[in-house]
């Protein structure tokens, strides 16, 4: 009975590896979904007039008494980059935030309200797909944990294993579609969004990378689960052939 314990230990190791990958994918996806750092960048805005005793490089001070007239404002927009300041911003699925000049803190607004009306349907589809992705990941992780602690027949364990593999694969496909839809919506918002939001420079942030890392862990968990299922089936077939061979030998040369 010693050789049978090795495959059992190997199967448990594969189950624990798949569960860890699935759980890691779930944590990554929830963190990315709830954060607002999918995209980061800067906006180029005109420096405001200095008020009161405020000084520094983030505002413009004129010595003339008519500093606030239209000619002065026109002068600000027609001069070079030194009359502009870069304001950092970051955006996620739910909201977009940008820093406040000469003050501490950030000003946030809903990203859905910034999205062009023609693309809001795609954004809502992306949000629904992200939610389903998280739900399926949670379902797959629960099934994998049940299979790890399942001490009944191996056949029942295989059924749970197969179902968790299908759920995890579906979760990965949904996650991939959701991430790609959000990428498309954000690029359309950059081109067609409100003038007071369009970024000057931007790039993908850590939440976006975390979302794709979640997808990679999800697919790795699915591959590990399918590999375990296939290997267990092959072991069963091999043992069945060996049993049939032993029975043939036994009936051909019966013990006297």
DSSP labels, 85-119: EEEEEEE-SSEEEEEPTTSSSEEEEEHHHHS-GGG
Average pLDDT over residues 105-113: 87
Residue 106 placed within a domain: no
Angle at 46 between CA 81 and CA 53, to 5 degrees: 105
Residue 61 placed within a domain: no
**If pLDDT is split at 50, 70 and 90, which confidence band does 198 have?**
confident
Distance CA 223, CA 232 (A): 14
For residue 168, what are its two tokens?
A: 């995890």
| Residue 151 reports pLDDT greater than 50 | yes
Residue 158 placed within a domain: yes
The phi, psi pair for 248, rounded to 5°, reads: -65, -40
Question: Average pLDDT, whole number, for the chain?
Answer: 78
Residue 169 placed within a domain: yes
Residue 163 placed within a domain: yes
CB atoms within 10 A of CB 254: 7
Summarize pLDDT for 153-188 with one digit per residue, the tens: 667 677 788 888 899 999 999 999 999 999 999 999
Specify whether the CB–CB gap between 11 and 228 falls below 8 A: yes
Specify whether the CB–CB gap between 113 and 124 falls below 8 A: no
Summarize pLDDT for 66-100 with one digit per residue, the tens: 445 544 544 444 444 466 677 888 999 999 998 87
Distance CA 243, CA 115 (A): 65
Higher pLDDT among residues 199 and 135, named by residue: 135
DSSP codes of every residue in 150-215: --S-HHHHHHHHHHHHHHHHHHHHHHHHHHHHHHHHHHHHHHHS-TTT--SEEEE-HHHHHHHHHH
Distance CA 183, CA 187 (A): 6
Residue 43 placed within a domain: no
Q: Which residues contact 207 (CB under 8 A, 6 or more apart)?
A: 31, 32, 35, 36, 37, 38, 92
Domain CATH for 137: 1.20.140
DSSP label of 41: E
Residue 76 placed within a domain: no
* Domains in the chain, number: 1
pLDDT number for residue 6: 41
**If pLDDT is split at 50, 70 and 90, which confidence band does 250 have?**
low
Average pLDDT over residues 133-159: 81
Return the residue matching tokens 């800067």: 42
By residue range, what is the domain housing residue 136? 9-35+116-194+203-239
Summarize pLDDT for 29-65 with one digit per residue, the tens: 999 999 989 999 888 776 666 665 555 555 665 554 5
| Residue 148 reports pLDDT greater than 70 | yes
Q: Is 210 left (phi over 0), alpha (psi -120 to 50) or beta?
A: alpha
Average pLDDT over residues 21-28: 93
Q: Which residues contact 74 (CB under 8 A, 6 or more apart)?
A: none
Q: What is the pTM of this model?
A: 0.76
C-alpha distances (whole Å) from 96 to each of 59, 146, 196 are 24, 40, 12
Distance CA 49, CA 217 (A): 51
CA atoms within 13 A on the CB side of 111: 26
Distance CA 50, CA 67 (A): 10
Distance CA 41, CA 201 (A): 5
Residue 121 placed within a domain: yes
């Amino acid at each position: 009975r010693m050789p049978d314990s090795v495959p059992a230990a190997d199967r448990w190791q594969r189950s624990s590896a798949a569960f860890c990958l699935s759980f890691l994918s779930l944590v990554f996806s929830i963190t990315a979904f709830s954060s607002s750092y999918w995209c980061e960048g800067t906006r180029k805005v005109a420096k405001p007039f200095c008020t009161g005793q405020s000084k520094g490089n983030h505002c413009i001070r004129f010595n003339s008494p008519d500093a606030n007239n239209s000619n002065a404002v026109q002068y600000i927009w027609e001069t070079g980059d030194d009359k502009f300041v870069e304001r950092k911003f970051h955006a996620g699925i739910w909201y977009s935030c940008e820093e406040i000049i000469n003050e501490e803190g950030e000003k946030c607004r809903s990203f859905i309200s910034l999205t062009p009306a023609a693309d809001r349907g795609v954004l809502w589809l992306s949000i629904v797909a992200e939610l389903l992705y998280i739900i399926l990941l949670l379902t797959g992780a629960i099934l994998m944990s049940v299979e790890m602690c399942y001490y009944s027949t191996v056949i029942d364990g295989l059924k749970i294993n197969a179902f968790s593999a299908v759920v995890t694969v579906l979760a990965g496909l949904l996650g991939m579609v959701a991430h790609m839809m959000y990428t498309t919506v954000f690029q359309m918002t950059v081109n067609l969004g409100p003038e007071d939001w369009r970024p000057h420079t931007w790039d993908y942030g850590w939440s976006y990378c975390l979302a794709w890392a979640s997808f990679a862990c999800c697919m790795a968990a699915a591959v590990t689960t399918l590999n375990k299922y296939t290997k267990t089936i092959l072991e069963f077939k091999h043992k069945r052939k060996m049993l049939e061979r032993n029975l043939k030998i036994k009936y051909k040369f019966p013990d006297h």
